[in-house]
Amino acid sequence: MLKLIPFIKYMKLYYSIILFLVTSNIFAGEMIIGRENISPGINLVFEGAPKDTIYPQKSFRLESDTDLHIEMLANWSKKAPKGSPIGGFVAYLKVIATIESANGKIIQVELTPHLNITDNLHYAQNIKLPGRIDELYKVTFTIYPPKNNELGIHYDWKEGIGPLISKTTFDYYNLDFEDIALSSRR
């Protein structure tokens, strides 16, 4: 029994280290760019992730032609209106990411709905950075509400809450994507 105690202490330390690594996103290989909350009760998480193969391949940039996968998760929070599924995906948003390199080159991409096992439904796109992977970047995320003919809003929501969202912009500066661009999902 006495020989088992050091082993148990070792195993507790081992599992603590594994838990730390998993929860700190080291294994996931994703870079949290920012976390925001917008009305009416929507949590946003902006991420840079390793590029991936996206299907149907003819509709998306090939993994081999890109540097990284840029994402926005949009989910209902505990502060969302009654009836909103807490943690559920907020659909019908239009999301534009503007990426500017330190040398002033700019690209704009629309983040479209994607589905994977890790994040489930989210907005994303594989991108080729407009500069070198070792440069610093500014990324601006602009989120637009659905167009009038894309989402029907019932009377109770319109009168009690208003539009789904208002146009919102978030800027993030001095982002280093080199580690993400050099990493791989497989």
Q: Summarize pLDDT for 101-110 with one digit per residue, the tens.
A: 999 999 999 9
Banded model confidence at residue 75, pLDDT cuts 50, 70, 90: very high
Using the Cα atoms of residue 44, residue 110, residue 101 and residue 49 in order, give the sign of their dihedral: positive
Say whether 100 sits in a helix, a strand or coil: strand
Helices (H), 109-169: 155-160
Using the Cα atoms of residue 172, residue 136, residue 121 and residue 19 in order, give the sign of their dihedral: negative
For residues 100 and 174, give the distance between their C-alpha atoms in angstroms, rounded to a whole number. Answer: 10
Count of structural domains within the chain:
1
Banded model confidence at residue 9, pLDDT cuts 50, 70, 90: low
Does residue 27 surpass a pLDDT of 60?
A: no
- Whether 170 is in a domain gets the answer yes
Q: Across 89-135, where does the E strand assignment appear?
A: 94-101, 106-116, 120-127
> By C-alpha distance, which of 60, 63, 149 is closest to 111?
60
> By C-alpha distance, which of 6, 14, 28 is closest to 184?
28
Does residue 23 surpass a pLDDT of 50?
A: no
- Whether 79 is in a domain gets the answer yes
Of 12-21, 30-39, 67-76, minimum mean pLDDT range: 12-21
- Whether 149 is in a domain gets the answer yes
Does residue 6 surpass a pLDDT of 80?
A: no
Q: What is the CATH number of the domain that holds 112?
A: 2.60.40.2480
Condensed to tens digits (0 to 9), the pLDDT of residues 144-179 reads 999 888 999 999 999 999 999 999 999 999 999 999
At 24 the pLDDT is 41
Find all residues with CB under 8 Å of 72, minimum gap 6, and list them: 44, 45, 46, 47, 95, 97, 111, 122, 123, 124, 141, 143
- Whether 8 is in a domain gets the answer no
- Whether 78 is in a domain gets the answer yes
- Whether 46 is in a domain gets the answer yes
* Domain carrying residue 118: 29-182
Half-sphere exposure of 163 (CA within 13 A, CB side): 13
pTM of the predicted structure, to 2 decimals: 0.83
- Whether 147 is in a domain gets the answer yes
For residues 139 and 54, give the distance between their C-alpha atoms in angstroms, rounded to a whole number. Answer: 22
User: In this structure, how many other beta carbons lie within 10 angstroms of the beta carbon of residue 139?
Assistant: 19
- Whether 91 is in a domain gets the answer yes
